Amino acid sequence: MGNFSKVSVAKDARTELHDLLSLTGAEISINNLPAGTGVPFIHSHKNNEEIYAILSGKGKAVVDGETIELAAGDWIRIAPAGQRQFFAADDEAVSFICIQVKENSLGCYTKEDALLHDEKE
């Protein structure tokens, strides 16, 4: 298990994976808001952008006072300085993943970062 970590999570209100998976370059949380509820605070970040993936349900994000309607399948990226708050719809819960990474830290990705190895049977 030296080169990977695996964990199963329950459908709790919020699960942070940083410690559970020994993450070193990101924080990932799984969030479940019941219908009619919301995150009870507005926040921004010093260095980290956040990428949200809406897994199921519907709701809204309020970013710098602007309301953005969200539904399953939507993705949204918010810059560190963006003041944000999330809400489930009045009649439907919302589940989402939040990926938090340092803004402008990605040097290369996908094919540029890959090392190809010969497959052996």
Digitized pLDDT (tens) for each residue of the chain, 121 residues in all: 589 999 999 889 999 999 999 999 999 999 999 999 999 999 999 999 999 999 999 999 999 999 999 999 999 999 999 999 999 999 999 999 999 999 999 999 898 899 989 866 5
Q: Is 121 inside any structural domain? A: no
Whether 2 is covered by a domain: the verdict is no
Classify residue 6: in a domain, yes or no: no
Residue 58: both structure tokens together: 């519907």
pTM: 0.89
Residue 113 placed within a domain: no
To which H or E segment does residue 98 belong?
strand 94-102
Which range marks the domain in which residue 48 is found? 14-104
Q: What are the tokens at 94? A: 């919302």
- Residue 119 falls inside a structural domain: no
Q: What per-residue confidence (pLDDT) applies to 1?
A: 56
Residue 66 lies in a domain: yes
Number of domains into which the chain is organized: 1
Q: Is residue 19 part of a domain?
A: yes
Among 79, 96, 81, 80, which residue's Cα sits nearest to residue 38? 96
Q: Is residue 116 a part of any domain in this protein?
A: no
Q: Which of 65, 27, 71, 21 is nearest to 49 (CA)?
A: 27
Q: 75: domain CATH number?
A: 2.60.120.10
Beta-strand (E) ranges in 42-93?
48-63, 66-71, 75-78, 84-88
